[in-house]
Amino acid sequence: MPTGSVRAGFFRAGFFRAGSAFVAWLVLTASALAQTPEERCLLDALRQAAPRTTVEELRARCVESPAAGPARVAPVPESLPPPSEAGGPVVGSTVGVVRDTPQGLSVAPVSRSKPVGDSPVRRRIEEEGVLWGERFALLPHRPNYLLPFSHSLDTPGTAGAAPVQRNEVKFQISFKFPLTPPLYDGRLAVFFGYTGQSWWQAYNSERSSPFREYSHEPEVFASWAPAMQLLGWDWRVASAGFVHQSNGRSGEFSRSWNRLFAEMLLDRPGPWWIGLRPWWRIPESAKSSPDSPKGDDNPDITRYAGHGELRFGYAGALQNWTLTMRHSLSAGGKGAVQLDYSRPTGFSPNLRWHIQYFDGYGENLLDYQTRIRRIGLGVMLNDWY
């Protein structure tokens, strides 16, 4: 366990293989549209399953008939023992997965007074744990989305003499995978993550539809499950690591910076969650001349991109809202606000409509000094939670 069908279901839910941006989007979208009622039933049964539940038992609980309509999940038998009696401690296990399956990062001890999967961050960690032991399995990191209709109310500041359209295609690809097995009873793990953002002038035939900007953001970080409460919120994950961000260009358009960051994720029973991510920029030496390949390409980027990020999220039964705010602590510092909204498309439970609004500085590295107001419409393969 999990079987091939269950693995396929989770891949369609946003776990994907790295590759070409457009091939990845096409494959994932086609897979999401092909999910069957039986596979959806198995996913639901997996989330609700007690420890030591076998694949045969899960299949037996999924009932599908032409007269009854879509597959449904039968109730969990009352004879199954609670996790504490099934063998082994709850800490360090992924709820709903048999003990012999490789486990993911712990979500803290199970509360007997709260149902399993009762909060957004916890539910995400439980789902990730299913593929934890798979070699080369990629887990979703940040949202993966495609905005084919993205309009900027402001002209990019580094457009130069070449004509740049305000209508673009914007997309983001983000994944992570564990570098270590779960450590310290499943409470600690080290990850590699990658996020790529692209601004594509797809409708600009005068310039042969170039990619105006692409941002690479690899990171290495350790995550810990504190298993404690903070001001009435459950502190699910604490992380710390190193992140590099660059646009891969040279000369006057070269942009890059390195940071050390910390992050904490909190939620509570219900749909609300909070993410706080402060960072510190690693200093670089000044350039000897503007054309020098060595030295700091953007010495004032912290003033515009900020010293940290705060996210407030609502992960409801249908609608998801995420408010992201950044601000600089420097004198005369700038910042930005981004609001994301998503809901199911109706074509597949794993494909969501996505609306994004951005207002502020540092949307991308190329134009970090220019205030950009942008609204986009498209689809999302996975939300934050």
Residue 226 has which token pair?
Answer: 């504190």
Amino acid 350: pLDDT: 83
Chain centre distance of CA 208: 32
Alpha helices in the chain (DSSP H): 4-12, 21-33, 37-48, 55-61, 120-130, 301-305
Task: Return the DSSP state at 300.
Answer: T
Q: So what's the pLDDT on residue 336?
A: 98
Q: Is the pTM of this model over 0.85?
A: no
DSSP state of 252: G
Tell me which of 244, 289, 307, 342 is the catalytic residue. 244
Cis peptide before 269, with omega less than 30 degrees from 0? no
* Strand 228-230, strand 320-327: pairing: unpaired
The stretch 149-166 carries a mean pLDDT of: 80
Neighbour count for residue 99 (Cβ, 10 Å): 13
- The CA-CA-CA angle for residues 128, 130, 131, to 5°, reads 75
Catalytic residue list contains 244: yes
For a pLDDT cut of 70, what percent of the chain falls above it? 66
Instruction: Note the Cα 362 to chain centre separation in Å.
Output: 20
CA–CA separation, 150 and 143 (whole Å): 17
Distance CA(325)–CA(274), nearest Å, equals 12
Q: What is the pLDDT of residues 341-365, one digit of tens each?
A: 999 999 888 899 999 999 999 999 9
User: pLDDT tens across 61-94, in order?
Assistant: 775 433 344 444 334 333 333 333 333 333 333 3
Percent of the chain past pLDDT 90, that is, above it, reads 47
Q: Which among 79, 90, 15, 89 is positioned nearest to 53, based on CA atoms?
A: 79
The pLDDT confidence band at residue 250, using thresholds 50, 70 and 90, is confident
- What pLDDT, on the 0 to 100 scale, is given for residue 136? 67
Q: DSSP code of 271?
A: S
CA distance 339 to 252: 31
Residue-wise pLDDT for 291-306, tens only, equals 777 888 899 999 999 9
Q: What is the DSSP letter of 244?
A: E
User: Which of the following is catalytic: 5, 209, 246, 254?
Assistant: 246
100 pLDDT exceeds 70?
no
CA–CA gap between residue 41 and residue 201 (Å, rounded): 41
Mean pLDDT of the chain: 77
* Superfamily, domain 139-285+299-382: Phospholipase A1 (2.40.230.10)
Amino acid symbol at 165: Q
What are the backbone angles phi and psi of residue 283, rounded to the nearest 5°?
-65, 150
Confidence of residue 217 (pLDDT cuts 50, 70, 90): very high
Q: Which residues contact 2 (CB under 8 A, 6 or more apart)?
A: 10, 46, 55, 97, 101, 130
Q: Is residue 191 within a helix (H) or strand (E), and if so which, with residue range?
A: strand 188-200
Q: Give me the pLDDT at residue 104, please.
A: 53
